[in-house]
Amino acid sequence: MAVQKPQSEGASLNNFWMPFTANRQYKAMPRLLVKAEGMYYTDVEGNSVLDSTAGLWCCNAGHSRPEITDAVSRQISQLDYAPTFQMGHPLPFELAERLAAMAPGELNRVFFTNSGSESGDTALKIALAYQRARGHANRTMFIGRELGYHGTGFGGISVGGMVNNRKAFNSQLLPSVAHLPHTLDIERNAFSKGLPEHGIEKADYLEHMIAQHGAENIAAVMVEPMSGSGGVVLPPVAI
C-alpha cells in the first residue's frame, strides 16, 4: 500500500523542539510516523510499527477508529468551540454527569483540563484553595512519592519524584513537599504472576509521615495508583 508522505517532508527539523528527546541525536536519524490504524503505526518508509504504549497512553481505544473519527468530525462541524467562562454548551455537562456516575463515592465534581500536567497542577491548587476555604489555611504541605510523575508544571515536578526532571528547577520548586518511598521492590516482587504479593506495607509509611509533619499542616497526598513514567510498577494485591 502506498504510504502518504508527510506534508512536511523536506522541511527543516530544526524548529520543532521535541520534549523528552535528545534532539540532536533524533534529528540526525529521525523516525517519522505518518499513519495509524488499530494498534499499529506506519512509518515514513511504509513499515508497520506496533504501538506498544497505546500512543503514550492516549489512544487506548485504538488508533483511527471510525466511530471515534466520525464522532469528532460530526462535533467539529456542528460546534467546534464554545467558551465555558460565563457561557456554556451542553456537552461538558453531559460528560461530567457521566464521569460522576462512574467515579466512586462522593467524587461527583468534574473540572476539565487539557493535559496531565495541567491536571496535576490544578489538583494541587484546588487542594490549597479548598483547605483555605474551610478555614485550614495552614494546610499547605503536599506529600508525593519518589519516582512519582505528575507532569511538567512546577507543582507536578515538585510533588513528583523524578530526579532528572527536578534538577534544573530545584531552586524554584514548591517549598513544602515530602515524598513517600517508591514502591519498586524488585527483590521480592520480580517475576510476579498477576499483581505482586509484597509491598502493601509501603503505603503504611504515609501514617509515619503524617505523624512526622502533622496532619494539620498537610493539604493533600498525591500518588499515582499505578506508577507509569517512573517505571510501570503494579500495586501489590490488597489484603
Ligand X SMILES: Cc1ncc(COP(=O)(O)O)c(C=O)c1O
Chain contacts with ligand X (rule: CB under 6 A): 115-117, 120, 149-151, 224, 228-229
Q: How far is the CB of 206 from ligand X (least distance, A)?
A: 18
Of 236, 220, 198, the C-alpha closest to 123 is 220
Which residue number, 197 or 228, has a Cβ lying nearer to ligand X?
Answer: 228
Q: How far is the CB of 117 from ligand X (least distance, A)?
A: 3
Distance of CA 201 to CAs 185, 236, 238, Å?
Answer: 11, 10, 10
Give the β-pairing of 218-221 and 141-145.
parallel
In this structure, which amino acid lies at residue 75? Q
Which residue number, 89 or 166, has a Cβ lying nearer to ligand X?
Answer: 166
CA dihedral 87, 90, 93, 98 (to 10 degrees): -170
Residue 82 to residue 46: CA distance in whole angstroms? 39
Q: How far is the CB of 56 from ligand X (least distance, A)?
A: 7
Q: How far is the CB of 216 from ligand X (least distance, A)?
A: 27
Which residue is associated with the grid cell 519518589?
146
Which residue number, 116 or 161, has a Cβ lying nearer to ligand X?
Answer: 116
| Closest-approach residue to ligand X (CB) | 116
Q: How far is the CB of 43 from ligand X (least distance, A)?
A: 23
Neighbouring CB atoms inside 10 A of 175's CB total 8
Which residue number, 117 or 196, has a Cβ lying nearer to ligand X?
Answer: 117
In this structure, which amino acid lies at residue 141? M
Q: What is the CA radius of gyration of the chain?
A: 22
Q: How far is the CB of 19 from ligand X (least distance, A)?
A: 8
Q: In what order do the strands lie in the sheet with 141-145?
A: 177-180, 141-145, 218-221
Which residue number, 157 or 218, has a Cβ lying nearer to ligand X?
Answer: 157
Which residue number, 118 or 197, has a Cβ lying nearer to ligand X?
Answer: 118
